[in-house]
A and B are shown apart, each in its own frame.
Chain A
Amino acid sequence: MQSINSNINLYYIPMTKLKTTTVGVYIHRPLDKNEVSKNAVLPYVLKRGCMLCNNSSDVYKYLENLYGASFASSVLKLGDDQVIYLGFETISDRFAPCGEKLVSDIIKLLVSVLFEPVQFTHETVEQEKNNAKNRILAEINDKRRYAMVRCGEEMCEGDKFALSVLGTIDDIDKITAEDLKSHYEKIITSSVIDIYMCGECDENAVTKELKESTMKIAFSDSSLPKSQIFTRQGDIKKVTDHMDVVQGKLSMGFRTNIEANSSDYITLMVLNSIFGGGAHSKLFNNVREKLSLCYYASSSLVKHKGIMFVNAGIEFENFDKAYNEILSQLDCVKRGEISELEYTSSINALLNELESYKDDQHMMQLFELGQKLSGVSLGIEEMKEKISKVKIEDVKNIAKKIELDTVYFLDGKEDK
């Protein structure tokens, strides 16, 4: 890690077997109702123009000249951390037919986009506000994801985590170009900014370039937002929405009561794999294959928030059957009824997944970032070693901690 200044860190992950170099900029902000909507609009306005490329068309021509380098922006939710993300990718200099310095040119664009944006105009901000509102409305297009998002919202009602990183329509409406500009000026100098580079580059040259271009900017104190795992007392919450769909979507939220930095988290990963983490899992083989109740049934973890979701697409009338079967499979895990095949396959699936990050620059960035946020310093090899040591008995022991919290069902039209 290279410290560019008190707020900005550069992490270089060499990966020369791939033909590209990727750069991810992660600006960390605490999930907070007062700024979540501004953060949801901001990266899209940054993308619209900077001192180097004044408008959007110039930005894209610049990228096209770099053999179609890519530049993506979005907002991510990592626990209670709202991350403003700018991602760049170019083919590595070795593959530039005319010896162009592609990586250096991408860094120049990154610096200008981050520190010299020029598009805080009324027109641009209004356009991006509209796009931001459409992203919120468009969430219903993917019913599978939508059901899980709704389940999380209901489950964490009152907790920061219930906030959507896309913001709210009302709050986005209220943003003016001046607001957004002053918000930008405030956060760009007072947030932790992690830059992950993965691929092939001269780390020292990039460090120098970043240091020089940020030298004249006055940065103030910053800290990384901390996530709290979700806890709650009381009855299981049940919520049903109605929509004009032909297939029902069941989403169940569980409290795992396990922190991302605890040693039990590794065991929880194994548990999730056994329970619903793929075609080898109990959910896939029982809910889908044996009972033909659905086309998909799987579970996933929200690492920094102590949550596990189960998602299934089912016929409306199969709700009870699917619900009961999912819980009965979890009970099997709790009783330690895990076959040797389920166990081995689950361990292997996790090892395989971790190992395959080594071929994927974006996943490597996210892996390293995830470790940093949870305060765990294990590398991929160390993680693999710990996973392979998890026993069925360990899984059984932590399974007791898992509690059903919320059951969400996306049902058909009410008059059906």
Chain B
Amino acid sequence: MELKYMKNDKTGEEMYTGKHSSGLEVYIIPKKDYSNTFAVFGTKYGSVDSEFIVPGEKEKTVVPDGIAHYLEHKMFDQPDGSNVFDKFSRYGGNANAFTSFNITAYLFSATSNVEKNLETLMDYVQSPYFTEESVEKEQGIIGQEIRMYDDSGSWKLFFNFLECLYHNYPVKKNIAGTVESISHITADYLYKCYNTFYNLSNMAIVVAGNVDAAKISNVIEKGVKKNEPFSEEIKKIYPDEPNTVAKHFVSENLSVATPLFMAGFKDTDTGFGGSKLLKKYIEVKILLRMIFGRSSRLYQDLYESGLINNSFSFDHTIQPDYGYSTISGESKNPKAVYDAIINEVESMHKNGLSKSDFERIKKVVWGEYIRNQNSVDDYACDFLQFKFMDIDYFNFYDVYKDVTFDDVTKRFEEHFIKEKAALSVINPV
């Protein structure tokens, strides 16, 4: 496998990239003097992917909700009955995995025996072993996990919010599925999903740390078990989603102290990845901070009137096929906060945005990007997620530098619209 070297003069970051003949994309990020090395091996497959056409097949496959997450759990079982965690533990590696809406990823961090840990990672993610008994056993553990989230106010708040935004799009469904949906999962379903989405041509690996690129690349190359890339794409099928929100408001009661709220806007300018998507991301990030940031008029007013506290935060999520921004926190009167948000946005539509705010806040986005490179974990994970959206995170500056006040103004007019807004509230019992 041939490696290409890159260096970024603005950040001092270096990277080696390569593509294995199996289709696996490899990214090695050397971090001089670091103690930690972090590796993440991921597939472009998450909880939203329950309907798809396998390359070479004509009929679509429909699988139970929650299966990507279930599969992640079952990957830790090995054909020889051994436990993957034991192998990592022996080499001092700290292994974990996560399933999000669009990605399933397996990772470890280690301060020694990096190559041994990497071999283990490569090996187990390519060694599926599911039996009806082992699949059944997992229902207890995942059932507990689902129930744990049932008690979590912030988790419920978030999914209720997504239920407001989306009529049909599966991002509104719980990542782990429901106790009912996972009861339909079988070993056959797991193999079907595995053989489709864990084909190496649908995967990428990122290794960041104090590493020798040639050695790492060698371990990865030797670790490849199946060199049969798909010649066509996996066709993922998503339902049609209208531009409107499903509803503007939802509330639920749970044992929380103060009401929790999550307000936000549905992103309807979707259907693209790459630099264009990164640009949108930067624009919305700047806007969120201009409107809702700690120095903003709205934040100061709400804080001083006691309607919000330090838990107030905002975020923007992007994917090629959907997106949304969120504004969340605790408040004794979430409706009043929501009204204030909508009023502030409407008044800005009338009076325009402040250019000096824009210039100051744009600096913050640069600081965040630099700061993100501190942690090998965060940097590698963000890199992988952006990679799967065809975004070149390494050369962030190239897109960042071109974001102008006019771009941000246009984005504001398109995204921060009352009709696309919704509010989710969790009230105390």
Chain A residues within 8 Å of B, Cβ to Cβ: 17-20, 44, 56-57, 60-61, 63-69, 89-91, 95, 97, 123, 127, 130-131, 134, 137-141, 143, 243-247, 278-280, 285, 288-289, 292, 294-295, 313-315, 341, 344-345, 348-349, 351-352, 355-356, 358-360
CB within 8 Å of A: which B132-164 residues: 137, 140-141, 144-145, 147-148, 150-151, 153-154
Q: List 8 contacting pairs A-B, 8 Å CB cutoff, sorted by A.
A: A19-B374, A65-B360, A68-B367, A89-B371, A123-B304, A134-B309, A348-B91, A352-B110
Contact of A56 among B83, B141, B300 (CB under 8 A): B300
Contact B89 A141 (CB under 8 A): no
Please give, as numbers and ranges, the residues of chain A lying within 8 Å of B376 by CB-CB distance: 359
B256 interfacial contact with A, CB 8 Å: yes
- The distance in angstroms between the C-alpha atoms of A292 and B36, with both chains bound, is 32
B32 interfacial contact with A, CB 8 Å: yes
- Among B255, B258, B374, chain A packs the most CB atoms within 10 A around the CB of B374
B233 interfacial contact with A, CB 8 Å: no
Query: When A247-B147, A295-B145, A359-B376 are in contact, do A348 and B92 touch as well, CB less than 8 Å?
Result: yes
B279 interfacial contact with A, CB 8 Å: no
Contact of B366 among A97, A138, A141 (CB under 8 A): A97
B109 interfacial contact with A, CB 8 Å: yes
- The distance in angstroms between the C-alpha atoms of A90 and B363, with both chains bound, is 12
- The distance in angstroms between the C-alpha atoms of A44 and B309, with both chains bound, is 11
Contact A289 B83 (CB under 8 A): yes
B31 interfacial contact with A, CB 8 Å: yes
- The distance in angstroms between the C-alpha atoms of A60 and B140, with both chains bound, is 47
Query: When A344-B90, A359-B36 are in contact, do A20 and B371 touch as well, CB less than 8 Å?
Result: yes
Please give, as numbers and ranges, the residues of chain B lying within 8 Å of A352 by CB-CB distance: 92-94, 109-112
Chain B residues within 8 Å of A, Cβ to Cβ: 11, 31-36, 83, 85-86, 89-95, 109-112, 137, 140-141, 144-145, 147-148, 150-151, 153-154, 254-258, 260, 293-297, 300, 303-304, 306, 309-311, 330, 360-361, 363-368, 370-371, 373-376, 429
- Among A44, A95, A137, A358, chain B packs the most CB atoms within 10 A around the CB of A95
Contact of A355 among B35, B137, B310, B367 (CB under 8 A): B35
- Tell me the smallest distance from the CB of A326 to a CB of chain B, in Å: 16
Please give, as numbers and ranges, the residues of chain A lying within 8 Å of B11 by CB-CB distance: 19, 95
Please give, as numbers and ranges, the residues of chain A lying within 8 Å of B310 by CB-CB distance: 44, 131
- The distance in angstroms between the C-alpha atoms of A66 and B93, with both chains bound, is 37
Contact A131 B309 (CB under 8 A): yes
Please give, as numbers and ranges, the residues of chain B lying within 8 Å of A289 by CB-CB distance: 83
- The distance in angstroms between the C-alpha atoms of A337 and B112, with both chains bound, is 27
- Tell me the smallest distance from the CB of B385 to a CB of chain A, in Å: 20
Query: When A138-B257, A139-B257 are in contact, do A279 and B85 touch as well, CB less than 8 Å?
Result: yes
Query: When A137-B258, A138-B257 are in contact, do A64 and B92 touch as well, CB less than 8 Å?
Result: no
Please give, as numbers and ranges, the residues of chain B lying within 8 Å of A349 by CB-CB distance: 89, 92, 94
Contact A247 B144 (CB under 8 A): yes
Leading 10 A-B pairs by shortest Cβ distance:
A67-B367, A345-B89, A68-B364, A348-B92, A60-B295, A137-B257, A68-B367, A280-B89, A355-B111, A292-B140
- Tell me the smallest distance from the CB of A119 to a CB of chain B, in Å: 11
Contact B257 A246 (CB under 8 A): no
Query: When A280-B85, A295-B148, A313-B148 are in contact, do A56 and B303 touch as well, CB less than 8 Å?
Result: yes
- The distance in angstroms between the C-alpha atoms of A185 and B306, with both chains bound, is 27
Please give, as numbers and ranges, the residues of chain A lying within 8 Å of B370 by CB-CB distance: 19-20, 67, 91, 95
Please give, as numbers and ranges, the residues of chain B lying within 8 Å of A141 by CB-CB distance: 153-154, 256-257, 260
Contact A288 B141 (CB under 8 A): yes
Contact B258 A138 (CB under 8 A): yes
Closest partner residue, chain B, to A100 (CB atom): B363
Please give, as numbers and ranges, the residues of chain B lying within 8 Å of A95 by CB-CB distance: 11, 370
- Tell me the smallest distance from the CB of B418 to a CB of chain A, in Å: 26
- The distance in angstroms between the C-alpha atoms of A337 and B33, with both chains bound, is 39
Contact B367 A246 (CB under 8 A): no
Please give, as numbers and ranges, the residues of chain B lying within 8 Å of A131 by CB-CB distance: 309-310
- Tell me the smallest distance from the CB of A52 to a CB of chain B, in Å: 15
- Tell me the smallest distance from the CB of B134 to a CB of chain A, in Å: 12
Contact A127 B303 (CB under 8 A): yes
Please give, as numbers and ranges, the residues of chain A lying within 8 Å of B304 by CB-CB distance: 123, 127
- The distance in angstroms between the C-alpha atoms of A315 and B147, with both chains bound, is 9
Closest partner residue, chain B, to A126 (CB atom): B306
- Tell me the smallest distance from the CB of B104 to a CB of chain A, in Å: 18
Please give, as numbers and ranges, the residues of chain B lying within 8 Å of A280 by CB-CB distance: 85-86, 89
- Tell me the smallest distance from the CB of A60 to a CB of chain B, in Å: 4
- Tell me the smallest distance from the CB of A414 to a CB of chain B, in Å: 14
- The distance in angstroms between the C-alpha atoms of A141 and B260, with both chains bound, is 10
Closest partner residue, chain B, to A123 (CB atom): B304
Contact B367 A91 (CB under 8 A): yes
- Tell me the smallest distance from the CB of A6 to a CB of chain B, in Å: 34
Please give, as numbers and ranges, the residues of chain A lying within 8 Å of B258 by CB-CB distance: 134, 137-138
- The distance in angstroms between the C-alpha atoms of A123 and B300, with both chains bound, is 13
Query: When A68-B364, A348-B91 are in contact, do A17 and B111 touch as well, CB less than 8 Å?
Result: no
Contact A247 B90 (CB under 8 A): no
Closest partner residue, chain A, to B150 (CB atom): A246
- The distance in angstroms between the C-alpha atoms of A96 and B296, with both chains bound, is 24
Query: When A57-B295, A280-B86, A288-B141 are in contact, do A64 and B360 touch as well, CB less than 8 Å?
Result: yes
Contact A244 B429 (CB under 8 A): yes
- The distance in angstroms between the C-alpha atoms of A349 and B368, with both chains bound, is 30
Contact B148 A247 (CB under 8 A): yes
Closest partner residue, chain B, to A56 (CB atom): B300
Contact B92 A295 (CB under 8 A): no
Please give, as numbers and ranges, the residues of chain A lying within 8 Å of B309 by CB-CB distance: 131, 134
- The distance in angstroms between the C-alpha atoms of A349 and B92, with both chains bound, is 5
- Among A137, A294, A352, chain B packs the most CB atoms within 10 A around the CB of A352
Contact A315 B144 (CB under 8 A): yes
- The distance in angstroms between the C-alpha atoms of A344 and B93, with both chains bound, is 12
Closest partner residue, chain A, to B305 (CB atom): A127
- In the complex, besides A90-B367, A134-B330, A247-B151, 14 extra interface pairs with C-beta distance below 8 angstroms are A20-B371, A20-B374, A44-B310, A57-B295, A67-B364, A68-B365, A69-B367, A127-B306, A134-B309, A138-B256, A141-B256, A244-B429, A280-B85, A356-B36
Please give, as numbers and ranges, the residues of chain A lying within 8 Å of B147 by CB-CB distance: 246-247, 315
- The distance in angstroms between the C-alpha atoms of A58 and B242, with both chains bound, is 42
Contact of B371 among A91, A294, A358 (CB under 8 A): A91
Closest partner residue, chain A, to B297 (CB atom): A57
- The distance in angstroms between the C-alpha atoms of A234 and B127, with both chains bound, is 53
Query: When A64-B360, A244-B255 are in contact, do A356 and B294 touch as well, CB less than 8 Å?
Result: no
